[in-house]
Structure 1
Amino acid sequence: MALTDEFVDLQRIAAPQREAQWQDLLSRTHLDMAVQLRQGTEPRSFRAAVRRRWLEDLALVDVRCDACLGVRDEMLVRRADQRRIAVTVARSGTERVGLGVGSLQLRPGDALIWDSAQPAWFEVPKRLLKRTLVVPYPVWRAAGGPRLAGGGVVVDSASSAWRMLRGYLDLLSGSPSPPGTVESARNLALDLLVAATQGGSVPSGDDTELHEQLCWWIDGHLDRPITARILAEAHGVSERTVYRAFARAGETVAAAARTRRLTRAREELETTDASVTETAHRWGFADASHFARAFRREYGCAPRDVQADPLAGGTGGTRLVHPSRMAGNGRTRTAI
């Protein structure tokens, strides 16, 4: 199912109305606040746009804007009809943010989780791109989210939970349809946000064991379609649980199946006289061209480059080594 989008570009708004429209737009997509352009900025030269993408009751908001500033004072906090928790990540440019009595500067890659129950202010000195996930406070607490001391928490950008959350938000923002259902995408984003708040650690235990079981099942069923729903039904768990187990392992169901199919296909090409087309069909690829593209992304060469030489009785040319088997290389490329 496609995600629901709302998009507004102030370039389509008459210059005299842009400042007021920008305040209204930020108030509707984030929080009620008083907003103005930075001193000396002409309304006709001010550029800004917002896209809001709904994940059921969660909102993923992408903002790009020129220099401006805003304040959310005690009166606006008291007037608010709904309390929210949000995580904001700066993608380009900088933003100075104040919460309660403290303040900090967000630079590209920095992230802040904040509570709308606190007065706040922001200042954007020059063009900014940022992404925010907005969560209703009751939803946050029901998911196990903690109360935020001082109204906000600076995210540990090195934590595994934050890296997964940021990557997942990038995926949701860049794709017209989420992996799985909108509900499962919403639940996983919420789970990762709670984990990122709680010290950046990602729970293991049952999820790790389940992930191993799911991968074992995938290995034995590579000759048939593999989806989160099929895995969930085979193991008596929900699709949400399957998505979470793979996300916490740093991969997706599709990538896990594709990588294993490519491994089997490569072994077949290296040790038999099967053609590229036969191998592609045997391991579930739509056609030889699709297989060749996926193979090159994974191994950096064409399938024919590793085919067994029937005359020499071995592989043709130099034997290529999968990155995960290279000494000193802890990274494994995942086919997309």
Structure 2
Amino acid sequence: MDDKTASASFSLDSRSAAATGRDDYERNWRTHVGDEFPLPTFSAATAADFRLRFRATRVDDVAVTTVDGESAAQTADGPVPDTDHIRLWLVHSGAWALGSRRSTVEHTVVAGEFLLRHATGLPHFALPPRTRARCIVLPAAALFSLPLAGREVTGHSDAAEVRLLVAHATMVEEVLPELSPAGVRAARDTLVELAVAVAHRGFDDVNTRLAPALAQAAKNLAEQRLADADLSPAMLARELNVSVRTLQRAFAAGGETVTAYIRERRLESARQALSATRLTVSEIAAHWQFADSSHFSRAFKQRYGVSPTEYTRQNS
């Protein structure tokens, strides 16, 4: 990795003498995020009770920051650096209030929503306690095709395009240290393309660079719906606003099929249930949507080499 690519987690707790100090916190930010993405100046009240954790990832001229705050936080009065960025805020819990001045709230992003906007300078913001959010900062020049000047794009964070963006950003955070220069460029370009997709509420489903993000978003959704009777490639494709063929191509790029992935995850969940619960084989088969106990037993034995009954006996 070069000096424009880094990822790290760091925190600051002003109440703890053992915690990272303010100077170390600022040094961490400059090291892992850089001066091109200026660190906000916080109010005195925030500095006195500052308990926030950060995950900062920089991919060339794109930065992804995850914030997990126990305390409230608010920026201080005063000028902000003049930067030309497009910002995307995704709020998981709590809220993120934004304004051009500290005393002015122009938009509040609440839990379950996102905001995409083009703004010069770092806008002032305030966070209530227990806010969890992610901010993705992109160069305006890379998204020149978007007519964002003076307007905002808002919506629900469970939108298909947002799910894809979150899935890709999470993958980048995890694998960035292992990426080659070509991999870093591809990761960066995909972040930009998915941000464009969020703005346009759609994406180019023939772009193979988006396949890993699409497959991961489908897997994330499947994990939430494993016990649902209607879980299928068609349902996942519908939820992610793509064709079944596009979804199948995304899985094929990783050497998988959608159906096989669902089957494998259901078998593994059923195996864990055999060890952790007192449910019968028939009840577990029904819960994980196998046709019947015989079908479940055959699939289980083919995968693990023993029948569900034998597995339960061995692990009781």
The verdict on how the C-alpha distance between 1:117 and 1:195 changes in structure 2, with shifts beyond 3 A counting, is same
- In the TM superposition, residue 69 of structure 1 has moved relative to its aligned partner by 0.7
The verdict on how the C-alpha distance between 1:114 and 1:149 changes in structure 2, with shifts beyond 3 A counting, is same
- 1:297 is matched with 265
The verdict on how the C-alpha distance between 1:157 and 1:250 changes in structure 2, with shifts beyond 3 A counting, is farther
**Letter of the 1:49 counterpart:** R
* Residues 63 and 136, structure 2, Cα contact 8 Å, conserved in 1: yes
Q: TM-score, normalised by structure 1?
A: 0.54
What are the equivalent positions in structure 2 for 1:106-125 lying under 5 Å apart? Answer: 106-117=109-120, 120-125=123-128
- 2:192 is matched with 190
What are the equivalent positions in structure 2 for 1:107-256 lying under 5 Å apart? Answer: 107-117=110-120, 120-141=123-144, 144-150=145-151, 152-175=152-175, 177=178, 181-198=183-200, 200-204=201-205, 207=206, 241-245=207-211, 247=214, 249=246, 252-253=250-251
* Residues 164 and 192, structure 1, Cα contact 8 Å, conserved in 2: yes
* Residues 155 and 162, structure 1, Cα contact 8 Å, conserved in 2: no
Match of 2:255 among 254, 257, 271: 257
Deviation per residue, 1:120-165 (Å, 9 max, x gap): 3211121322211111222222xx3332434x32234353212221
SS in 1 for 2:294: coil
Match of 1:76 among 74, 80, 84: 80
The verdict on how the C-alpha distance between 1:188 and 1:46 changes in structure 2, with shifts beyond 3 A counting, is same
The CA RMSD over aligned residues, in Å, is 4.4
* Residues 54 and 66, structure 2, Cα contact 8 Å, conserved in 1: yes
User: Structure 1: 5+ residue runs without aligned partners?
Assistant: 208-240, 264-293, 306-315, 323-336
- 1:54 is matched with 58
**Letter of the 1:191 counterpart:** E
The verdict on how the C-alpha distance between 1:8 and 1:295 changes in structure 2, with shifts beyond 3 A counting, is same
Larger mean CA deviation between 24-33 and 107-116 belongs to 24-33
- Pair 1:319 & 2:285 matched: no
Task: Measure the CA separation in 1 of the matches of 2:13 and 2:51.
Answer: 6
**Letter of the 1:93 counterpart:** G
SS in 2 for 1:149: coil
- In the TM superposition, residue 186 of structure 1 has moved relative to its aligned partner by 1.4
- In the TM superposition, residue 244 of structure 1 has moved relative to its aligned partner by 2.2
Q: TM-score, normalised by structure 2?
A: 0.57
The verdict on how the C-alpha distance between 1:23 and 1:154 changes in structure 2, with shifts beyond 3 A counting, is farther
User: Highest CA radius of gyration, 1 or 2?
Assistant: 1
Once the two structures are aligned, what percentage of the paired residues are identical?
17
- In the TM superposition, residue 259 of structure 1 has moved relative to its aligned partner by 2.6
**Letter of the 1:192 counterpart:** L
- In the TM superposition, residue 105 of structure 1 has moved relative to its aligned partner by 2.3
Task: Measure the CA separation in 2 of the matches of 1:162 and 1:124.
Answer: 22
Task: Measure the CA separation in 2 of the matches of 1:145 and 1:56.
Answer: 20
* Residues 251 and 257, structure 2, Cα contact 8 Å, conserved in 1: no
Deviation per residue, 1:155-190 (Å, 9 max, x gap): 343532122212222333345557992222211111
SS in 1 for 2:112: coil
- 2:42 is matched with 35
**Letter of the 1:92 counterpart:** S
Task: Measure the CA separation in 2 of the matches of 1:171 and 1:108.
Answer: 22
- 1:271 is matched with none
- 1:5 is matched with 7
Task: Measure the CA separation in 2 of the matches of 1:119 and 1:260.
Answer: 42
